[in-house]
Structure 1
């Protein structure tokens, strides 16, 4: 049997169409016309002897074969891009001191840092992981080269990395009714989540009491999982044993939460800039298509 070779450009084009749901937007992202995208998708389908998209006048959706291919295409492109980057970019060397708030992509972060170490083995990472309010004083004293924290943790110039929705969360076995006084499991002041939770409840004249104060996301997650109370967390911090509070509870709406990068633009740091470029690429490849599991959403 003659082997079938899948062209990298075809796979990249396919992945863009799958993620954007549009031949036009996909073409804009990778520098092709709509017609050029159509040609690549048609050739991909011919090569595989399988249809990867269902197309109507109003929308585009993946076929079962397309769903299978998307998983493989994402992995192939990730390894391909990592190899090209490793062999073509200047070798980065040195120490990098990073501060990451502890609810920054907890499920993805270990793999993300591991891939960076493999790609840049001569970079020594020192990672500090805690609440943003604890990291920023270290940054201001020059003890950290960069920090990822909540945008509202500092009034200075920042670069927004990710915006995630904030959810009212409860333990998975919590009953779908509100007690007269709402128990809360929150971070200590001056945490933004604490402020949003308490002030939004006061606006709708609901009584509340803080039954648990945790200094880490893991502590808040454990309290919620145990059914101690309600909390406010970003989507990336949801995990098994927790769910979004049911809509019938009519809890106040919460805003989007912006995670930002804090750096000293006046100081040159080549290793820092390499890490930032890597992190942005990882977020573009992974976060834009990440959705929470059904168990997390309740």
Structure 2
């Protein structure tokens, strides 16, 4: 059915008059009459009956009125949604796996708040690989870990590494001490191993992974203790506070744009996202 004809039909329903319907739809009365005739022909039903000198809706006309309102409403909603959708290409965002549950959702929320309903494609990998993705133009933006003495990107959060364990498994007395770490490009990896060696604590490096889920799984199943950012800690795991465990470094979690960033992401926009993240974290 023609949408314009349905609009004219609904104008009659609202006004009870072809004359007023014609004025509201900016058509002639004869044009309205032709539209109604085509609707009747298409449906094979009479939509109007006479009551005295007035036209009123037939039973089938009343049925159509209910459907027409929904059809026209959905049509207008669809047109409005598509027309107002930002015509930007997809934004490719990188994030280390250990920030995927805590940092990533907040950042995506702030991006959509700033840019509207933009399509965001997320790649989870280590900070090293994400930096390579930025350099190759494969990513527009990445959540990364940096040292506190560097100025890379826009600060989201200051954090520090902690040792983690499972509440169901006690491994701290085991020698060698079983540990699960992120891969060697992670700042906690070298700090953990160097610290254990300096403290003359024998260790067994059970696994290395770029996945926080993998490391947490090793800890949950009692195969090792782990080392990760405090903000990545899950409720079912806990922070180990034994003083003989070597301290892990402080880190900055930052938002880093590619040199050729997304067309919708100006430096000012990224700065505002960074500031909003910090403001939300301080509430």
TM-score normalised by L of structure 2:
0.60
Are residue 99 (structure 1) and residue 94 (structure 2) matched? yes
SS in 2 for 1:194: helix
Are residue 280 (structure 1) and residue 274 (structure 2) matched? yes
Residue 187 of structure 1 is matched in structure 2 by 182
Distance 1:92 1:149 in 2: 27
Distance 1:195 1:288 in 2: 31
Are residue 136 (structure 1) and residue 131 (structure 2) matched? yes
Equivalent residue in structure 1 for 2:246, among 239, 252, 256 = 252
Residue 213 of structure 1 is matched in structure 2 by 208
Between the two structures, name the one with larger relative contact order (CA 8 Å, sep ≥ 6). 2
Residue 3 of structure 2 is matched in structure 1 by none
Distance 1:169 1:207 in 2: 18
- RMSD over aligned Cα, in angstroms? 2.9
Residue 170 of structure 2 is matched in structure 1 by 175
Quickly say closer, same or farther: Cα 1:257–1:108, change in 2 above 3 A: closer
Residue 264 of structure 2 is matched in structure 1 by 271
Aligned residues: 196
Decide whether the 8 Å contact of 2:171 with 2:224 is kept in 1: no
Once structures 1 and 2 are overlaid, which stretch shifts more, 229-238 or 128-137? 128-137
Question: Any gaps of 5 or more consecutive residues in structure 1?
Answer: 1-90, 290-298
Q: Residues 89-130 of structure 1: CA distance to partner in whole angstroms, max 9, x if unpaired? A: xx9651322111222262353355246436633522222122
Decide whether the 8 Å contact of 2:157 with 2:278 is kept in 1: no
Residue 143 of structure 2 is matched in structure 1 by 148
Decide whether the 8 Å contact of 2:159 with 2:231 is kept in 1: yes
Q: How far has the Cα of 1:201 moved from its partner? A: 0.7
Distance 2:199 2:98 in 1: 28
Quickly say closer, same or farther: Cα 1:138–1:245, change in 2 above 3 A: same
Structure 1 residues 196-211: aligned runs within 5 Å = 196-211=191-206
Q: Residues 235-266 of structure 1: CA distance to partner in whole angstroms, max 9, x if unpaired? A: 1110022111133x52112221112233345x
Q: Residues 150-194 of structure 1: CA distance to partner in whole angstroms, max 9, x if unpaired? A: 115xx8844433210210111122337432211111122232221
Distance 1:117 1:94 in 2: 12
Decide whether the 8 Å contact of 2:171 with 2:222 is kept in 1: no
Equivalent residue in structure 2 for 1:240, among 225, 235, 238 = 235
Structure 1 residues 37-56: aligned runs within 5 Å = none
SS in 1 for 2:170: coil
Equivalent residue in structure 1 for 2:112, among 109, 112, 117 = 117
Decide whether the 8 Å contact of 1:176 with 1:246 is kept in 2: no
Quickly say closer, same or farther: Cα 1:122–1:176, change in 2 above 3 A: closer
Distance 2:231 2:249 in 1: 15
TM-score normalised by L of structure 1:
0.57
SS in 2 for 1:253: coil
Decide whether the 8 Å contact of 2:154 with 2:271 is kept in 1: no
Question: Any gaps of 5 or more consecutive residues in structure 2?
Answer: 1-84
Q: Residues 55-78 of structure 1: CA distance to partner in whole angstroms, max 9, x if unpaired? A: xxxxxxxxxxxxxxxxxxxxxxxx
